[in-house]
Structure 1
Amino acid sequence: MSYCHFFQTLHDETHPIGKLGRGTHYSVLRAPVWHDEFLNRIDRCAFLDFAVIWDEDHDDRVIDAVMMLYVGGLLSPVRYIGERKGTLTILLASDLKSDWDPEKLQQYRDDISDMCQCLEDPWTAHVAGVGEDGHSIIHASPDKVALYLKNIDMLWQLGVGPRSQTS
């Protein structure tokens, strides 16, 4: 399925798979980007691979949020994004989040929160690192969520990487 003309769908689960959370399943999308993972402008277009984590209702309004992040130049740091119970959760690579200075990270969080208020149905936003507890991208124990996300990353090598830059 194609969710948006700007993104290529690399993998798409359209309904719940297994018994994790409340109907958890995922899609992997690829987008051309002009910023690296630290939001620095890059000379050549690269490609970002990221995962959308769906719950049982497969609420594709999350794609509207992804699109707003994309046109706002805020998508490059994202590894996982999902909506559950009115909260948009954005998970950044753990090392990326720890390498950002606190002011830049807070500005990013503020930009995401502002963007979420511009959606047709406003959501609250939560930005965290992949390995952090306390996010609700999936309704399951933190160790199971961490393993699930690691498996997705192992399969798809999410992020902006030299492997996907154009020559």
Structure 2
Amino acid sequence: MSYCPFFQTLHDETRPVGNFGKGTHYSVLRAPIWHDELMVRLERCAFLDFAIIWDEDHDDRVVDAIMVLYISGLLAPVRYIGERKGTLSVLLAPDAIRSWPQETLAQYCSEVSDIGQCLEDPWATKVDSVEGIEHSIIHSSAENVATYLRNIDMLWELGVKPKSRP
């Protein structure tokens, strides 16, 4: 399925797989980007592979939020994004969370929050690290969620490709 003309769908689960969470399943999309995961401008276009984590209702309005993040230049650090119980969870590359000054992270969170509020049906937002435990992207224990997300990353090697050279 094509969710957006700007993104290529690499993998698409359209309904729940297994018994994890409350109907959890995922899709992996690829987008051309011009910033690395730290939001540093790239000399050449690169590609970002990221995952949408769906819950049982497969609410594709999350793609609207992704589109706004994309056209706002905010998608590059995103590794996972999903909506559950009216909250848009945006999980970032660990390097972005570790490397950004606190003010940069606060500004990014504020911009993502503004996007969540400008949608047709406004959503609260939660920005966290992939390694974080404060998000609620999946209804399960933090340990099980971390394992699930690591497995997706292991299969798809999410992130910016090719990796920028120092």
**Shorter-chain TM-score: which interval?**
over 0.9
Local SS of the residue matching 1:58: coil
Q: How does 1:18-57 map to 2 (within 5 A)?
A: 18-57=18-57
CA contact (8 A) 2:17 2:23 kept: yes
- The equivalent residue for 2:94 is 94
What residue identity is the alignment partner of 1:145? V
Cα drift, residue 161 of structure 1: 2.6
Distance, in Å, in 2 between the alignment partners of 1:35 and 1:96 is 12
Cα drift, residue 154 of structure 1: 0.4
- The equivalent residue for 2:149 is 149
Query: Where does structure 1 differ by over 6 angstroms across 4 or more consecutive aligned residues?
Result: none
Distance, in Å, in 2 between the alignment partners of 1:11 and 1:151 is 14
- The equivalent residue for 2:10 is 10
Task: Confirm or deny that 1:58 pairs with 2:86.
Answer: no
Counting aligned pairs with the same residue, the percent is 66
CA contact (8 A) 2:37 2:93 kept: no
Distance, in Å, in 2 between the alignment partners of 1:125 and 1:53 is 15
What residue identity is the alignment partner of 1:24? T
Deviations 1:91-138 (A, max 9, x none): 012232111111100000000001111101010100000111121000
Local SS of the residue matching 2:81: strand
TM-score, normalised by the number of residues in structure 2: 0.96
Local SS of the residue matching 1:151: helix
Gaps of 5+ in 1: none
Distance, in Å, in 2 between the alignment partners of 1:57 and 1:85 is 10
RMSD: 1.0
Cα drift, residue 43 of structure 1: 1.2
Cα drift, residue 40 of structure 1: 1.5
Deviations 1:22-74 (A, max 9, x none): 00000000000011111121111100000000000000000000000000000
Q: How does 1:124-163 map to 2 (within 5 A)?
A: 124-162=124-162
Local SS of the residue matching 2:135: coil
TM-score, normalised by the number of residues in structure 1: 0.96
Distance, in Å, in 1 between the alignment partners of 2:47 and 2:66 is 15
Q: How many residues align?
A: 164
